[in-house]
Structure 1
């Protein structure tokens, strides 16, 4: 250990014992609190955020252990030469054989340049993995156990200390005799004789392997979290762009003139979920057919993100093609069911598909496990009777019953996905009563766009766990 003559430095005054005791107590209490958080943490190996949080807890525990070490040594005062590197076994939870505490990872050494004597503490032999019977290593031998990449750093630190009188403060990696790799932090300074010449060099070695491992785990888990967040942001952007490219870009009501007969005033709106990052497979659509009729639909596919929106785009394209080909709504859903069943990305979906004939104002429609359309007339509303139809993709060779309803000028049909009124997955009620209660307000609306605005104001502020669509079709006088 260092002699009592230090390089231009007066002897340090010992701190007040009561202040150090208070710091030790507070450190132990905080360490216990952090350790409790670490033990209670449930870590999902597939969750980057969870891994990052657990790594931070581990790092905090290591650092608090290290702080407890230094405070314990500060409380004891300057170590005696014969017990250099002594570990305070009285501190709670500090049995290094059982816990690997950092308290056992601080050792000291002194190299006497005049007598060539070398003195190591017992703890330094333990850190280096060297048997005390082999004796301590000289300064010339020390680089032999250090990583080749770090040898120049060690040599530079020792040379600067011995030649220029600079203090040592650096870190290097070494390989013990048992093959274990340790990271050691070395601090020290020259010891001067009465003439001001360097008589010896002393140093304290601190094994920081676990601390650096924890810091590395924090960095790696943080980087993994950043990569995951970047992936999610990219996926969200792609899902939004795909959805915007596929859904009709309506910014106001769309009027479908159907020759000299009745036309349809259409408006629709997409409502994101509370978690706007979850872009789902909900859609609305309407198009005028070559026959002079029109087809409109809403639907919902399971899942979120690019997979859901890409499947939705595929399905919506098929529905449009089938409609243009003159296929009836029931058969359209049958073909859509077979499409989902054979898709490379299996999914379940619900939908309602309607075809409006302007000659007799008749709507032919079919549904696949979806909330039925709501018919509003003269200030009152009702749900249409449900024809048979199972979820798309649920079973092979499903058949979808088709129903018809005749509309009058001024009538409204409201189609929506179940996320519009359902607050959570456990709520099985499709919210029809809530929408039907809007009948008096809808009767006063001037066009379909105003009707959509009324519905969104009534339902759009809910804490919906899923996205939703609403489409209003109003028969023009």
Structure 2
């Protein structure tokens, strides 16, 4: 049941795909325009600091637009399927230190290290990014690693060495520690500046605080990973619930003929119907078991809940029911013992059940119920529910007594047992009376399997709100 906090709120809807596609197209167009400006700035003299600044900003803008296009693509495509390769998390995290306020420019600073004069020039923004007092001066290349996390220092050393020795451009990220104990993630881009002899005279760089971007990306990755693990766990639990249900419910499929030693035997068929509103396995069961004394146990029931907990509780209850039936416990007393079992269980639950014992010698059906729909008896083209003996839901109260009743079945009679999920539908177009309306068709059914097929054709649609079981037992002559 949804939380009351959200009872009056519509469920969140994904954005329109056309709208997201339009944003992606606009982003691609903008990226092309920025890329054109970047190519124009590439022909400007590298000795012009303003030109280098403009080119670096264009590089950063292109990276940002690439990120934006990627995120919009994710928004359009939705959460990837758990079997798809997941997006790798960024190599570095950062602390909860808030990003610098203001525009992109206020989070970008520049630096130049002159190798000939040992002069260092930092922009005002870079001092703010590093949280450094300008009176202390800028950090030299030898001092710069001291403010990095130890794990990131080798990366910076490698970047600077490749730039100064091999003349390679720099492009990487590292984390710095602030004087107040905080941490930021910086993206550093730079190039060597050569003298007239082709030797490296200085190195310039643009550093950008990407802490906010990384936190946002980490948040997306973390939530995606959480969803992936949740879906994997749900699939594993569903698989275990299905396997447990298949192991516990009767192994026969189709009709189960049980020969009688008196007036007649039983032709039995049953089917489990999963919910149309949920892919979770419920706690519904059906059972038909020949007993050592020649009688036959018929039972259906439903425990609250879904998934593995409900299925495991159902398996426990059904095993106890079978054991007591084999031991000769009457249906009424058997219901009382099941109620005690649920009452003292480590996983308390509520459940409904009906338990019948058919004697083929006398044709007598003894039965009891616990808050469950009564069996339906179809005879001569007319259906009616059996008068129900008293019985409360299993697990609802302690120490209660369950009454037992009996009825004589005749050859040709059809007994239908079902859980209430069969007639609980979203459109309210079907109810218990719908089953009784099937009496003329059931009268012409030749087997119990035909009876189940008729019921399922009428009530087995995907509009049901819950799982359901239906069992048909036809008395043979």
For 1:301, the equivalent position in structure 2 comes to 303
The partner residue of 2:338 within 336, 339, 343 is 336
Distance, in Å, in 2 between the alignment partners of 1:459 and 1:430 is: 7
Is the 2:262–2:361 Cα contact (8 Å) retained in structure 1? Answer: no
Distance, in Å, in 1 between the alignment partners of 2:137 and 2:420 is: 78
For 2:374, the equivalent position in structure 1 comes to 372
Distance, in Å, in 2 between the alignment partners of 1:7 and 1:465 is: 73
Q: Structure 1, residues 53-104: CA drift from partner, whole Å, max 9, x if none?
A: xxx9xx9xxxxxxxxxxxxxxxxxxxxxxxxxxxxxxxxxxxx87x566553
Query: CA separation of 1:278/1:155 partners in 2, compared to 1, >3 Å: closer, same or farther?
Result: same
1:304 Cα deviation from its structure 2 partner = 1.4
Q: Structure 1, residues 237-256: CA drift from partner, whole Å, max 9, x if none?
A: 11111111111012121111
Distance, in Å, in 1 between the alignment partners of 2:404 and 2:150 is: 80
The partner residue of 2:328 within 323, 326, 329 is 326
Partner SS state of residue 330, structure 1: helix
Distance, in Å, in 2 between the alignment partners of 1:447 and 1:407 is: 16
Q: Does 1:465 align with 2:465?
A: yes
For 2:6, the equivalent position in structure 1 comes to none
For 1:105, the equivalent position in structure 2 comes to 107
- Two-structure CA RMSD over aligned residues (Å): 3.0
1:275 Cα deviation from its structure 2 partner = 5.2
Is the 1:270–1:469 Cα contact (8 Å) retained in structure 2? Answer: yes
Is the 1:6–1:190 Cα contact (8 Å) retained in structure 2? Answer: no
Distance, in Å, in 1 between the alignment partners of 2:109 and 2:191 is: 15
Query: CA separation of 1:313/1:470 partners in 2, compared to 1, >3 Å: closer, same or farther?
Result: same
Q: Does 1:346 align with 2:339?
A: no
Q: Does 1:441 align with 2:441?
A: yes
1:465 Cα deviation from its structure 2 partner = 2.5
Partner SS state of residue 285, structure 1: strand
Is the 1:5–1:193 Cα contact (8 Å) retained in structure 2? Answer: no
Q: Structure 1, residues 239-274: CA drift from partner, whole Å, max 9, x if none?
A: 111111111012121111121431011100001112
Distance, in Å, in 1 between the alignment partners of 2:462 and 2:228 is: 31
Q: Does 1:398 align with 2:378?
A: no
Is the 2:270–2:472 Cα contact (8 Å) retained in structure 1? Answer: yes
Query: CA separation of 1:199/1:118 partners in 2, compared to 1, >3 Å: closer, same or farther?
Result: same
Q: Does 1:220 align with 2:260?
A: no
Is the 1:250–1:268 Cα contact (8 Å) retained in structure 2? Answer: no
Query: CA separation of 1:115/1:5 partners in 2, compared to 1, >3 Å: closer, same or farther?
Result: farther
Distance, in Å, in 2 between the alignment partners of 1:7 and 1:227 is: 53
Is the 2:353–2:369 Cα contact (8 Å) retained in structure 1? Answer: yes
Is the 2:423–2:431 Cα contact (8 Å) retained in structure 1? Answer: yes
Q: Structure 1, residues 396-454: CA drift from partner, whole Å, max 9, x if none?
A: 11111222222221011110001112125x97x98211111111111111100011011
For 2:411, the equivalent position in structure 1 comes to 409
Query: CA separation of 1:103/1:329 partners in 2, compared to 1, >3 Å: closer, same or farther?
Result: farther
Is the 1:7–1:189 Cα contact (8 Å) retained in structure 2? Answer: no
For 1:421, the equivalent position in structure 2 comes to 423
For 1:259, the equivalent position in structure 2 comes to 261
Distance, in Å, in 2 between the alignment partners of 1:432 and 1:367 is: 17
Q: Does 1:187 align with 2:189?
A: yes
For 1:6, the equivalent position in structure 2 comes to 46
Where in structure 1 are there 5+ consecutive unaligned residues? 38-47, 50-55, 60-95
Distance, in Å, in 2 between the alignment partners of 1:457 and 1:181 is: 65
Is the 2:262–2:360 Cα contact (8 Å) retained in structure 1? Answer: no
1:195 Cα deviation from its structure 2 partner = 4.2
Equivalent residue pairs, number = 401
Query: CA separation of 1:103/1:264 partners in 2, compared to 1, >3 Å: closer, same or farther?
Result: farther
1:359 Cα deviation from its structure 2 partner = 2.4
Mean alpha-carbon deviation: is it higher for 449-458 or for 115-124?
Answer: 115-124
For 2:271, the equivalent position in structure 1 comes to 269
Partner SS state of residue 292, structure 1: coil
Distance, in Å, in 2 between the alignment partners of 1:103 and 1:284 is: 70
Q: Structure 1, residues 257-310: CA drift from partner, whole Å, max 9, x if none?
A: 121431011100001112563111100011122222212010000111221111
Is the 1:383–1:432 Cα contact (8 Å) retained in structure 2? Answer: no
Is the 1:371–1:430 Cα contact (8 Å) retained in structure 2? Answer: no
Distance, in Å, in 1 between the alignment partners of 2:145 and 2:328 is: 85
Q: Structure 1, residues 100-141: CA drift from partner, whole Å, max 9, x if none?
A: 665531111112223332211111001111011111111121
Partner SS state of residue 126, structure 1: helix
Distance, in Å, in 1 between the alignment partners of 2:399 and 2:247 is: 31
Partner SS state of residue 140, structure 2: coil
Mean alpha-carbon deviation: is it higher for 262-271 or for 218-227?
Answer: 218-227
Distance, in Å, in 2 between the alignment partners of 1:289 and 1:146 is: 77
Distance, in Å, in 2 between the alignment partners of 1:289 and 1:362 is: 15
Residue pairs, 1:142-221, within 5 angstroms: 142-221=144-223
Distance, in Å, in 1 between the alignment partners of 2:208 and 2:123 is: 12
Partner SS state of residue 242, structure 2: helix
Query: CA separation of 1:430/1:312 partners in 2, compared to 1, >3 Å: closer, same or farther?
Result: farther
- TM-score with structure 2 setting the length: 0.78
